[in-house]
Structure 1
Amino acid sequence: MHWQFKRILILVSSLVLLLLTGTIGYMLLEGIPVLDAFYMTVITLSTVGYKEVVELSNASKLFTILMIFGGISFVAYTLTYVAAFVFGGEFTEIMRRRSMEHDIDNLRDHYILCGAGYTGMSVIKRFQKSKVSYIAIEKSEERVNALLEEGIMALHGDATQEEVLEKAGIHHSKGLVSCLSTDADNVFTVLTARGMKPDLHIVSRAINPNAHKKLFHAGANNTLSPNELGGDRMATMLLRPAVMSFLEITTHMGDIIFDIEEVEIPDGCMFAWQTLRESGFRRKTGLNVLATKKHTEDFVRPNPDPSFLVEPGDKLLVLGQLEQIDNIKKLIKQPRSY
């Protein structure tokens, strides 16, 4: 339970105890019924000044004085604290976090991002573009709050710790990206994640050139150095500008945005057990198949022939508009009609 909820519970319980004490006190001192005694307690603590139900004895007057000095300040503080908690945004924030925790528990086949720095934010943009489920783990509470404000599912914690990865639903996840600020943290995160879920697909950021080997040994499927990649791209822009211009045209043409996507063909799909020509893949989807990868092979075949036989488990690397890519994801789920 959140500590503020506990504090409110204590305050409310104390208020109930105060009302009970006043009620019992008036009953014993004046011999009046429970309702009258409770009424006397309420008008005393609220200072409304209504007439007493009986003429008070000296003992009752002293008891009333104690109730006033001891109770009014407490009641005022309790009501003020509860009002500030409910209307000051803290209650809304707690409820939002509880809702998020419920959403995390229901995550399935999602991706886990460890580290929401500059590189991590680029990963998030890609996740959003691909419309996949994901959750970010970040050490900085300030960044976590910023992500939550943007409607991004985020968890405050250390991604190198098993309990944090467990909380992020690693056993139900599809993949993990480690974008932490040091190679040591990335290695430890990869090692921990691999031990928790052996079949998890893990991609990690590498900062130093010699970190790739360590990350592979720790269990990463792929590693990437943003510095190396950025430097290579800048050099290509300078040395082979025509190549970069072609790549830009390939992915952006006016207001139309193209994307490259990997599509795995499931069993029973309308495109399974047919060649690319027989299934009419290009005609039905509008997508260009750039490369293929057989489920029995470890390498990619670029520029496949129309006679390529598509089998369940094969992967197609396709190029097309975002709407076409969204459509193919729906089409592959439709069973083949005979």
Structure 2
Amino acid sequence: MHWQFKRIFILISSLLFLLVVGTIGYMTLAEVEAIDALYMTVITLSTVGFKEVVELSHGGKIFTIFLIFGGISFVAYSLTYVAAFVFGGEFTEIMRRRAMEHDIDNLKDHYILCGAGSTGMSVINRFQKSDAKYIAIEINEDRVNTLLEEGVMALLGDATQEDVLEKAGIHRCRGLVTCLANDADNVFTVLTARGMKSDLHIVSRAIDTSSHKKLKRAGANNTLSPNELGGDRMAVMLLRPTVMSFLEITTHMGDIVFDIEEILITENCEFAGKSLRDSGFRSKTGLNVLAVKKAGETTLKPNPDASFVVESDDKLLVLGQLDQIDRLKRMIAIQTKGV
């Protein structure tokens, strides 16, 4: 964008320079008033062929020849810029950014990712696998351009600033994850986001082990250290390889076979008010219920038996294939809207 403004500035400056030089030149050589001199400059540069205000001397005619060459050079430069702007991709890029800004304004129930470094890219991959709506905030312009080229909705800016979070639709989003390069920025982003939306679910990266408490005091619901998690998984791979093989399946670290998802049971859902056995949940969905979180409670009830009665507003933690999970989500959405 800076380069575009620079070229536009050059174009405007060149035009003004030609107008000033032409006006002063005609005032001196043709001895006419300023308005007449400006008029003669404009018709000369535009080559419209109108009659001169006064007859020109030999010096005036030579001056006009050079002024015409200056006008032709200006037009040629302008056409080159326009061609580069349209056919060089700049126009397409501007239109794409405007379309993206329109999409951002219409985002709702999405997730905000702060920081698109190595950890942030892993978050993006997970969002894409889960078909979640999201927007990334990144301060590095090259990374933003790369994300945009890959079709990722990305916003250039500092995630610690309220106006940037506002532009990303923080008041309409479902959650925020911050993966910035240092703990200080992560803490400040969490503080800012929590102050803007008190009920926002926030997950933050913790680089230093001592930062977990700071981030939670700042307002993070959950914190995670990629280094700690990576080291723990490496140890499990060595000590309990069979357990790790199962975790790879259920957490997408290996081939995409199964996934774990949280499902909200709505009032109009056919499973509400019935036991897992009576509702035929397993046979109808193909999913296994790993745990249940009752409405208004913070703890999970693991491994519910077949007699467990599912109620509206319960959240089920289910294990199964992605297409099975998607079918269940669509079915609940249809039943909710259909009544």
TM interval, short-chain normalised: 0.7 to 0.9
Give the alignment of 1:9-48 within 5 angstroms: 11=11, 44=47
For the 8 Å contact 1:269–1:334, the answer to whether it is kept is: no
In the TM superposition, 1:134-153 aligns within 5 A as 134-153=134-153
The residue aligned with 1:58 is 56
Q: 2:256, 2:56 → 1: CA distance? A: 88
Residues 168-188 of structure 1: CA distance to partner in whole angstroms, max 9, x if unpaired? 111111100000111111100
CA distance in 2, matches of 1:206, 1:165: 20
Deviations 1:91-127 (A, max 9, x none): 2212211111111111111000001111101100000
Query: How has the CA–CA distance of structure 1 residues 319 and 8 changed in structure 2, closer, same or farther, with 3 Å as cutoff?
Result: same
Q: CA deviation at 1:295?
A: 0.8
User: Does 1:321 pair with 2:308?
Assistant: no
Q: Aligned partner of 1:172: which letter?
A: R
How far apart, CA to CA, are the structure 2 residues paired with 1:220 and 1:120? 17
Cα separation, 2, equivalents of 1:123 and 1:9: 41
AA at the equivalent of 1:58: L
Instruction: Kindly provide the amino acid, as one letter, of the partner of residue 266 in structure 2.
Output: P
- Cα contact 2:295–2:315 (8 A) shared by 1: yes
For 1:235-270, what per-residue CA distance to the aligned partner results, in whole angstroms no more than 9, with x for missing partners? Answer: 111122222133345568x97611111111122222
| 2:233 corresponds to | 233
How far apart, CA to CA, are the structure 2 residues paired with 1:249 and 1:110? 26
The answer to whether the 8 A contact 1:273-1:309 is kept is: yes
Aligned to 2:173: 173
Q: In 2 relative to 1, CA 103–8 (structure 1 residues): closer, same or farther, beyond 3 Å?
A: same
> Does residue 160 in structure 1 map to residue 150 in structure 2?
no
Cα RMSD for the two superposed structures: 3.3
- 2:334 match: secondary structure: coil
Cα deviation, 1:245-301, whole Å, max 9, x if unaligned, reads 33345568x976111111111222222122112221111111111111101321111
Q: 1:244 is paired with a residue of what secondary structure?
A: helix
Q: Percent identity?
A: 72
Instruction: Give the deviation of 1:335 after TM superposition.
Output: 2.5
**Structure 1 partner of 2:108:** 108
CA deviations 1:20-54 (Å, max 9, x no partner) are x99xx9xxx9xxxxxxx9xx858848xxxxxx798
Quote the residue 1:195 is aligned against: 195
- Whether the aligned pair in 1 keeps the contact of 2:285 and 2:324 (CA below 8 Å) is yes
SS at match of 1:332: helix
Separation in 2, partners of 1:94, 1:323: 37
Aligned residue in 2 for 1:132: 132
1:135 touches 1:152 (CA, 8 Å); kept in 2? yes
**Distance change >3 Å, CA 140–CA 251, structure 1 → 2:** closer
In 2, Cα distance between equivalents of 1:319 and 1:145: 36
The CA distance in 1 between the partners of 2:90 and 2:251, in whole Å, is 44
Q: Taking structure 1 as the reference length, what is the TM-score of the superposition?
A: 0.83
Cα offset for 1:11? 4.4
Which piece of structure 1 moves more, 323-332 or 93-102?
A: 93-102
Q: State the one-letter code of the partner of 2:326.
A: D
Confirm whether residue 286 of structure 1 aligns to residue 261 of structure 2: no
Residue 65 of structure 1 deviates from its aligned partner by 2.5
TM-score by length of 2: 0.82
Any gaps of 5 or more consecutive residues in structure 1? 30-36, 46-51
Contact 1:8–1:82 (8 Å) recurs in 2: no
Report 1:185-334 matches (<5 A): 185-248=185-248, 257-334=257-334
Determine if contact 1:44/1:67 at 8 Å carries over to the other structure: no
Q: Which amino acid aligns with 1:333?
A: A
Name stretches of at least 5 consecutive residues in structure 2 with no aligned partner: 27-31, 33-39
- Do the aligned partners of 1:44 and 1:64 also contact (CA within 8 Å) in 2? no
SS of 2:327's partner is helix
Q: How many residues align?
A: 318
